[in-house]
Amino acid sequence: MPEKITKTESEWREVLSEEQFKVCRKKGTEQAFSGKYWDCHDRGNYHCACCDTPLFSSITKFDSGTGWPSYYQPLTPESIATEQDTLFFMRRTEVLCSNCDSHLGHVFEDGPEPTGLRYCINSASLVLHKTESS
């Protein structure tokens, strides 16, 4: 695993849009059905918007009906980290990029087979690296 990426708040502000900074570094949430990837059907891998770590494949993306991109598993278990999130009197599992600690979204246990998980991820935290369709 590469060395963990750490930057100051001002360094992150220099490389991220205002929306990306709010979501990725301040644990914000974009409005449902507003992100650029919630209804995207292009093939490829979704990378971290902060550090370009590959996180999810379009093959595991599914329509959850929530208005956020949803995946049933990450590319590798090592690409993400999780933490308990108890903000707003809720108990959820936060999903982070394991390489730079960027807030990605949350994971829930109501997804499809084969994992039964739904990684509900903010579009602002992702960049799609498209591949050719076959």
For residues 74 and 121, is the Cβ–Cβ distance under 8 A? no
| 1 found inside a domain | no
What's the confidence (pLDDT) of residue 85?
A: 75
What's the confidence (pLDDT) of residue 92?
A: 81
Cis amide bond preceding 114, omega within 30: yes
What's the confidence (pLDDT) of residue 134?
A: 47
User: What domain count does the chain have?
Assistant: 1
Q: What is the pLDDT along the chain (134 residues), one digit of tens a residue?
A: 568 899 999 999 999 999 999 999 999 999 999 999 999 999 999 999 999 999 999 999 999 999 999 999 999 999 999 988 766 666 789 999 999 999 999 999 999 999 999 999 999 999 999 997 64
Total residues found in the chain within this entry: 134
Tokens of 87: 């903000």
Model pTM score: 0.92
| 2 found inside a domain | no
| 4 found inside a domain | no
| 35 found inside a domain | yes
| 3 found inside a domain | no
Q: In CATH, what number is assigned to the domain containing residue 118?
A: 2.170.150.20
Residue 51 known to be catalytic: no
| 26 found inside a domain | yes
Expressed as residue numbers, the domain containing 76 is: 9-130
- Per the residue annotation, which of 24, 48, 50, 120 is the catalytic one? 120
Residue 56 has phi, psi (to 5 degrees) of -135, 150
Residue 79 has phi, psi (to 5 degrees) of -75, -20
| 18 found inside a domain | yes
What's the confidence (pLDDT) of residue 65?
A: 95
